[in-house]
Structure 1
Amino acid sequence: MASARIPRRTLCAAVESAAAAGWRSRWERLKSTKAGVWCRGLLSDYKEACRDVVVSAWERPLKASVYASLLGGACLCFHLKPDRPAFDARLLECSNQLGLLSPWIRSGTSDSHVQSLVKLRNEGRLRHVGLGFLSLVYRADYDPSTALYEAQCSGLSVPWRELPHRVLDVGFAGRWWVLHAKMNNYDINEEEFKNLPAHMQSTSPPSVQEVERNESLHMASWTPPPPVEETDHETVEDQQSEKQ
């Protein structure tokens, strides 16, 4: 039995060595091909580029920090870029906020802008396009499902040079900026104060002294009045008798 195991082990070792030699020969032939040479050159270039980046960052940490901050900011802006569902949700939220106010209270600027966007949305004329770090919402002339020749013909579509005149909102860093600006002071009706004098149409925040004075008056209003001293009834009568 022992004599039979020795030739078997020798044969297995010979087969393994032959397979390893064949694998090495095939790997050498693969590395010597054009694709292998190109891959080795590409890996070598990437290795040198990474080494140069590490060395440059070590020698100039301030410059590397600025570049890293710009790259991180660009990635963050790309990740926070709002999409079309976010615009629809924000538009409906603004419409609900204005609907809770009386027409005599809500801002005319906010109401007209939101109502125009809602009308375009209901007509299917709002379009959305993503531009890397930005998102644009613009108006179109027709709904894409409209069965009109003007709406379906690609030759009559709106050219890109007219896009700046059709942009309705810009999305950046997780916010729609035009809609946010239009909703500023949406609960103040500017038309309500247009007939007031000029000095009453604008108000300024109170100064620190006025705020402190108002707070002191408010605290003093909560202070109980001092007790009135009660005089003895006999003492009052004596004083009256002396006067007589």
Structure 2
Amino acid sequence: MTFAGKRIVVTGAGKGIGRAVSVMLAGRGAHVIALTRSQQDLDQLVDEIGCTAIAVDLSDAGAAHAAAELAMPADFLVNCAGTTSLDSFLDVSAETFDYIMAVNTRAPMIVAQAYARSRIARGVGGAILNVSSISSTVGFAGHTAYCASKGALDAMTRVMANELGPYGIRVNCVNPIVTLTPMAVKAWSDPAKAGPILDRIPIGRFVSPDEVGEAISFLLSDAASAISGITLPIDGGFSTR
């Protein structure tokens, strides 16, 4: 898959899956417009792949809108920015819930609106990829707000695919299980914590950021030109059990 000459917006590009996707897409010819909160992360990414860097706190609706407008025009969009907090259902606060929904669901909506309006105004199609999670369909304890935000993102993706399809804009989700970013490696290094999840994964392991990146690349590419409105599990078969 090649993206030579294409401009691709990636939110959450500074760390984890977003960073891996940015590096992968740049390696395939794309010019990445990287949106993330940390200027230090952006500076490192600029040095590595020569991307356009936009520092933004996507939990701020106004800032998210301004950054999205600044990032246009673009050929494709990857909404990868995300956050979480571990709180039991009885303990999660309204403030925490609102913050996670703002980053994980509202920000993808705002950035996608700017992208879609730009593409429609130019009379061209495109593709949006929302990075969701297997948590959108599994009620993991301690993840009330995160699961809710990803379930909402899946639902919004289906509406986006329905409404934007007539303009030639495809919209899809990928839904990974635990993805071994540097942060996740530390978080899931305890066998007592990881064991029960790994026991439900037929291939017997978690997934890598590059494996998620390959799926994203495919869904953005012309090879997936008839695919829209899906939520694709990248879970080693977890959802079959």
Relative to total residues, which structure has the larger strand share, 1 or 2?
A: 2
TM-score per shorter chain, which class?
under 0.3
Q: Which has the larger radius of gyration?
A: 1
Question: Larger % of helix: which?
Answer: 1
**TM value normalised by structure 1:** 0.19
